[in-house]
Amino acid sequence: MSAGTLDRQDERLNIGSGFRGELRSAAKSVRQGDIGSLPVIAGLIVVAIVFQTLNPVFLSSQNLVNLALQSTAIGVMAIGVVLVLLLAQIDLSIGSVNGFAAAILAVTFVQWQWPMWLALLVPLAVGAAIGAIYGLLYIRFGVPSFVITLGGLMAFLGFQLWSLGLNGSINIPFDSFIVRFTQASFLPDVVAYVLVAAIAVGYGASALRSAHRRARQNLSSASATGIYLRGALILVGLGALTWYMNTTRGVPVMFVLFLVLVAATGYALKRTRWGRAIYAIGGNEEAARRAGIHVSRVYMSVFVLSSFLAALGGLLAAGRLASANPSSGGGTTNLEAIAAAVIGGTSLFGGRGTASSAILGILVIESITNGLTLLNMDTSIRYIITGAVLLVAVVIDAISRKSRAAHGRA
C-alpha cells in the first residue's frame, strides 16, 4: 500500500477530529434527521432532574440499585421486541409467554420437585418452541404476526392459568438459586470496576477497528479523537455510577446479565451477516430477497429469540417476586416491553433501531414509575405519562423519517 493511500486513510479517519469537529458532525446528523438516541437521553435527564427535585431519594444509591433491579425483567423482553420491530413485525404475546414461563418454573420446581437447572431449562425451551410455531405460521401460511401473536396472547394466558391450577399462586423458596440470583446477587467492587474498564477498552478497540476498516474502503468514518472522547466518557461515567452504587448494595448481577444480552445482540446486529439481513429485510423485504438473503430463516430466528427472551424475562420476574401467580406477565408487562423498545428509538416501520434501545427505553419507563411511586402518585398518572412519552417517541420517529427522506431526495 502506497504512502499516499495511507495518508488519505489517515486523513479520512481524522476528518472532523477534535471536540469542535465532533459537535459539527453531530449537528449535521441532526439536520439530516439522524438524531439517534439524543431525545431519549435528554428525556432521561429531564426525568431525573424533575424527580430529584421533588424527592431527593430518587437519585440515591439505594434507589438506583432498586431501579436497576426493577428494569431487568422487562428490559430483557424489550430486546426481543427490538428484533421483531426491526423486521417491521410485532409480538403481542410476550407478556403471556412471560407469565407461562414463570408458571412452569413454579410448578416444576416447587410442586414436582424438579432440580432447579431443569426447571429453568424447560420454560426457556418452551419459549423458543413458541417462537418457532409463530415463525412457521408466518412463513408457511402468511398469517400476519399481529394475528398470530394475538392468538398466542390469549392461548398462553390460558395455559398459564391452567398450570397454576386452583391454588392460583405458588411461592418460590427464598433460598432457591433463582430468587438469590435476582434479589441478592451483586458484583464484588473490584469485579465491577474491572468490568467498567473492559467495557471502555472494548468500545474503543471496536470503534477504532471499524473506523480503520471504513477508511480503507474510502467510506466516511468516526474520527479517532471522537472515539477517544467517547471512550473516556464511558469510563468516567460508568466508573462514577459504579462507585456510587457500591456505596450501598452494589451492581446487581441480574442487571449485568441484561447488559451482556444487550451487548451480544448489538454485536450480532452490527457485525454479523444475520444482523445485516435483519436491517435489510426491515427496510425492504423484496429487495433483501432478491439480494440472496434467506428471508424465511431470519424471520424464524427472530421469532424464536423474541419468545425465548420473553420466557427468560418471566423467570427473572418470578425470582424477583419469589412467586408465580395469575398476574405474572399480565397487566402492562406486554405493553411496557413494546413501549420500551419504541421509546428507546426503535422504529415501528422496521429497519431502524439498536439493541441499546432496550436499555434506554426501559430506563425511561421504570424511572417514571419509580419516581411517581416515591411521590405516592396514583397509578393512573403513571399510565398517562408513559402513554404521552410513547406518543412523543413515535412522533419524533415519524418526523426524523420525513427529514431523512427529504435529505435523500435533495
pLDDT digits (tens, 9 = 90+) for 311-342: 999 999 999 999 999 988 887 888 889 989 98
The pair phi, psi for residue 311, each rounded to 5°, is: -65, -40
Residues contacting 214, CB < 8 A, separation 6+: 220, 221
In angstroms, rounded to a whole number, what is the distance separating the alpha carbons of residues 94 and 75?
12
The per-residue pLDDT for 116 is 96
C-alpha cell belonging to residue 106: 413454579
pLDDT for the residue 35: 57
Residue 117: φ, ψ to 5°: -60, -35
Which of the residue ranges 78-82, 115-119, 165-169 would you say has the lowest mean pLDDT?
A: 165-169
Among the residue ranges 95-104, 190-199, 377-386, 390-399, the one predicted with the least confidence is 390-399
Q: Tell which residue, 99, 95, 23, has the closest CA to residue 325.
A: 99
What confidence score (pLDDT) does residue 7 get? 41
Q: Over the chain, what HEC string results?
A: CCHHHHHHHHHHHCCCCCHHHHHHHHHHHHHCCCCCCHHHHHHHHHHHHHHHHHCCCCCCHHHHHHHHHHHHHHHHHHHHHHHHHHCCCCCCCHHHHHHHHHHHHHHHHHHCCCCHHHHHHHHHHHHHHHHHHHHHHHHHHCCCHHHHHHHHHHHHHHHHHHHHHHHCCEECCCCCHHHHHHHHCECCHHHHHHHHHHHHHHHHHHHHHHHHHHHHCCCCCCCHHHHHHHHHHHHHHHHHHHHHHHCCCCCEHHHHHHHHHHHHHHHHHHHCHHHHHHHHHHHCHHHHHHCCCCHHHHHHHHHHHHHHHHHHHHHHHHHHHCEECCCCCCCCHHHHHHHHHHHCCCCCCCCCCCCHHHHHHHHHHHHHHHHHHHCCCCHHHHHHHHHHHHHHHHHHHHHHHHHHHHHHHC
Express each pLDDT in 251-273 by its tens digit.
Answer: 999 999 999 999 999 999 988 99
This prediction's pTM: 0.89
pLDDT classification of 348: cutoffs 50, 70, 90: confident
**Average pLDDT for residues 29-47, to the nearest whole number?**
70
Question: Do 253 and 177 touch, CB atoms closer than 8 A?
Answer: no
Q: What is the mean pLDDT of residues 31-46?
A: 72
Residue 195 banded pLDDT, cuts 50, 70, 90: very high
Amino acid, res. 212: H
Nearest CA to 368 out of 335, 320, 336 is that of 336
* pLDDT exceeds cutoff 80 at 407: no
Please check the confidence at residue 395 and state whether its pLDDT lies above 60.
yes
Residue-averaged pLDDT of the chain: 87
> Average pLDDT of 385-399?
78
How much of the chain exceeds pLDDT 70, in percent?
A: 88
Please name the residues in contact with 107: beta carbons below 8 A apart, sequence gap of 6 or more: 163, 164, 170, 324
Residues 6 or more apart whose CB falls under 8 angstroms from that of 375 comprise 51, 54, 55
- At 278 the pLDDT is 96
